[in-house]
Structure 1
Amino acid sequence: MHVHLRRSLAAVLGVTAVVSAAACGVSGPVANGEPIAFGPAGRTAYPLTFDNCGTKVTFRTPPRRVLILNGTSVGEVESFLMLGLGGSVVANAQSYGVSDDPSMIGRIKALPTGGVTANKNFDVPAEQVLKLRPDLVVSTWSGGFDARKGFATREQLAAAGITSLVNPVNCASGKPDATAAEKTAYKNQSINSSLEFLLLLGRIFDVQKRATELVDGLRARVDAIRRRVAGLPAKKVLIAYPGMAMMNANGLPAVMTGGIYDDVIRAAGGVNAFAGQGENLTRTLSREQLAAAQVDVLVVGLFTPQEKGDAEAAKLFAAYPQWRASRTRTYTVVSDGVYLGPLNAAGVEKIAAAVRSGG
């Protein structure tokens, strides 16, 4: 999730997590001064050194004690689990409670928390991180290492012998001195962003074959949908999270647009009803703008387990009967499949089914 939206949710909801919508890297991570090649899977040659958001990181062996910071994300912990790396996690601060892969809920809950608790800025404070003595701390955004928020800095961690890692697509998020390339990368989001992180973890943990096979399978699922919808008229799709109304100044459902949201919708054969307008729209969208939108397919996003997708869709159809989707009752329900993370294929498949059924 973009930085101001991340803060909005954190301020209202504490450590309840939402998967980050993040940018696709302009160039991949760098190892030993050269771009990491995500080619044929091989064994990782240690020491593995690369630049991560302007910080040089070195892995001499696969990490064995990993702390995953909250950052109002769940994409990182899901990536660890899908790669079979849950055994390396000594503390996980990410959670969501609803998922497009229902098995994820229990799998995440089963991970150790390490006894860590969040500070007033809704993540693990520096003293708890250092006491835990992890060998790797993972943050979805650069802001997870901001001393002004009470978090351990990357320099502080390095001095304690702890490696830090930011999901590369989020380098610019929470980084005041972000480079132009990092800012561009943060804006230009895509499904590929999610896959690149899986491949990076595969390299770090020496499970490249596993990561490549997983990514190939996920990409194949998305590509199958792209081929199926190629050449068909694109339907106008609206992604709305009623449970995130605190993110909108007018109390409306959080309408998601730009970056990975647009890419997921495109892959499913649609076009975002507010394509390319970005994070500011989520905050400022007015009731008049929402009423005037062309909506062929409604995508209801679930934020909490208590929400019922069918009921939320019915409420929106009643509030906006002028939408074509309201007349045809065309909708689907997603949760984390449209955010940065390994479940984009599930999100694409759900939306594509609704797009094709929309008449």
Structure 2
Amino acid sequence: MRPSRTRRASAVALVLLAAACGTPPAETGGEAATAAPASAGRTVYPLTFDNCGTRVTFRRPPQRVLILNGTSVGEVESFLLLGLERSILANAQSYGVSDDPTMTARIKALPTGGLTMNKNFDVPAEQVLKLKPDLVVSTWSGGFDPARGFATREQLAAAGITSLVNPVNCAMGKPQATEQDKRAYRNQSINSSLEFLSLLGRVFDVQRKAFDLIGRLRARVESVRARVAALPPRKVLIAYPGMAMMNANGLPAVMTGGIYDDVIRAAGGVNAFAGQTADMTRTLNREQLATAQVDVLVVGLFTPEENGAEAAAKLFAAYPHWAAARSRTYTVVSDGVYLGPLNAWAVEKISKVVHPGG
């Protein structure tokens, strides 16, 4: 049984407030294989590389994968778009609403392994070890933190289980993270989402699928960039009313920095709070929100029960001085602005209201 949406939302800040990471250049055969560009070649096993300071080796494509929650959905979506659902033994990630209309049902159809979450919103160590996966995937380093009741990477290795952290989030939940990881973590972008697809392509020997998928997704984003490149950027605000528990003042969660800014830029806009760190989501006050320059409102949905049009109307009524309020200019997104393979969906949606005639 998964935690309730309300309880989980307070933990979402662990992932969503972090606007995060890139990966170092790859070397053939291993050390920094995570950032290797997807190719059409075959994987040569054993495949060994460094993953967030842990050396991992794959002797064949994993067949019993556990995807930890981490209040993320990007990893399971990446598996699905690469056609790797048969390798999933248990999935703990879900969201309930998606910019890809097919995604919610596809995630719901995946096995969950009968797993339950602990108070830190993820699978406790004893359940992971009992399930006996051959690979455990976490969106962040904190997914292997024993202080939170999770199995360590060392425990898993001793049981013959390989572990993998999305490389973009190496610094997240890892106090001893390198400066390179911290810097990359702060500079997360759409490319970070594509890098994880490339990594899965190598690990599972589906490099042709990954190469083709990345090409299609990148082409969609670049098509929008080209269309809006010569047009003046407009101020865009991404706000999640259903995540108000993430803000100290009970305001909608306003997303800034990292991948959020990159999605907005690709769509021809600029974040209304550009230059702010992800901490703005937590600290934003009513005066700052009221005086912000907002040409376009992007309403983020957190649960399927939310109504985007109603949420936009309430925000426009609360902040009538916004240009977006006067023109009623808004669109609705959900998971496409997060780290994950659906950024192209969000870029396309946002661009249509930022530059509708461009």
Shift of 1:27: 1.2
Write the distance in 1 (CA, Å) between the matches of 2:344 and 2:312. 22
Shift of 1:295: 0.3
Whether the 8 Å contact between 2:333 and 2:349 is mirrored in structure 1 is: yes
Q: 1:298 to 1:141 in 2, by over 3 A?
A: same
Which of 14, 18, 21 is matched with 1:24 structurally? Answer: 21
Shift of 1:32: 3.7
DSSP-derived class of the 1:277 partner: coil
Shift of 1:29: 5.6
Structure 1 counterpart of 2:199: 200
Q: 1:115 to 1:258 in 2, by over 3 A?
A: same
Shift of 1:10: 8.3
Identity %: 76
Structure 1 counterpart of 2:111: 112
Shift of 1:22: 4.7
Structure 1 counterpart of 2:208: 209
Shift of 1:34: 4.4
Write the distance in 2 (CA, Å) between the matches of 1:25 and 1:160. 30
Structure 2 counterpart of 1:130: 129
Write the distance in 2 (CA, Å) between the matches of 1:149 and 1:302. 28
Shift of 1:102: 1.7
Q: 1:334 to 1:274 in 2, by over 3 A?
A: same
Q: 1:18 to 1:84 in 2, by over 3 A?
A: farther
Write the distance in 2 (CA, Å) between the matches of 1:17 and 1:96. 15
Shift of 1:292: 0.6
Is residue 348 of structure 2 the alignment partner of residue 354 of structure 1? no
Q: Which amino acid aligns with 1:177?
A: Q
Q: 1:174 to 1:134 in 2, by over 3 A?
A: same
Write the distance in 2 (CA, Å) between the matches of 1:19 and 1:211. 25
DSSP-derived class of the 2:256 partner: coil
Q: 1:10 to 1:278 in 2, by over 3 A?
A: farther
Shift of 1:23: 2.4
Structure 2 counterpart of 1:62: 61
Q: 1:244-323 alignment to 2 at 5 Å?
A: 244-323=243-322
Write the distance in 2 (CA, Å) between the matches of 1:34 and 1:208. 18
Shift of 1:40: 3.2
Whether the 8 Å contact between 2:19 and 2:258 is mirrored in structure 1 is: yes
Deviations 1:315-357 (A, max 9, x none): 0000000000000000000000000000000000000001013
Q: 1:318-333 alignment to 2 at 5 Å?
A: 318-333=317-332
Deviations 1:249-280 (A, max 9, x none): 00000000000000000000000000131211
Deviations 1:194-219 (A, max 9, x none): 00000100000000000010000000
Write the distance in 2 (CA, Å) between the matches of 1:17 and 1:251. 14
Q: 1:100 to 1:17 in 2, by over 3 A?
A: farther
Write the distance in 1 (CA, Å) between the matches of 2:10 and 2:135. 24
Structure 2 counterpart of 1:334: 333
Q: Which amino acid aligns with 2:45?
A: Y
Q: 1:34 to 1:16 in 2, by over 3 A?
A: closer
Q: Which runs of 5+ in 2 are unaligned?
A: none
Write the distance in 1 (CA, Å) between the matches of 2:71 and 2:13. 4
Whether the 8 Å contact between 2:221 and 2:266 is mirrored in structure 1 is: yes
The two structures have a TM-score, normalised by structure 1, of 0.94
Structure 2 counterpart of 1:49: 48
Q: RMSD over aligned Cα, in angstroms?
A: 1.9
For these two proteins, the number of residue pairs brought into alignment is 351
Whether the 8 Å contact between 1:19 and 1:74 is mirrored in structure 2 is: no
DSSP-derived class of the 1:101 partner: coil
Structure 1 counterpart of 2:171: 172
Write the distance in 2 (CA, Å) between the matches of 1:215 and 1:18. 27
Structure 1 counterpart of 2:90: 91
Shift of 1:17: 11
Q: Which amino acid aligns with 2:198?
A: L
The two structures have a TM-score, normalised by structure 2, of 0.94
Q: Which amino acid aligns with 2:91?
A: N
Q: 1:16 to 1:248 in 2, by over 3 A?
A: closer
Write the distance in 2 (CA, Å) between the matches of 1:254 and 1:172. 23
Deviations 1:130-159 (A, max 9, x none): 000000000000000000011000000000
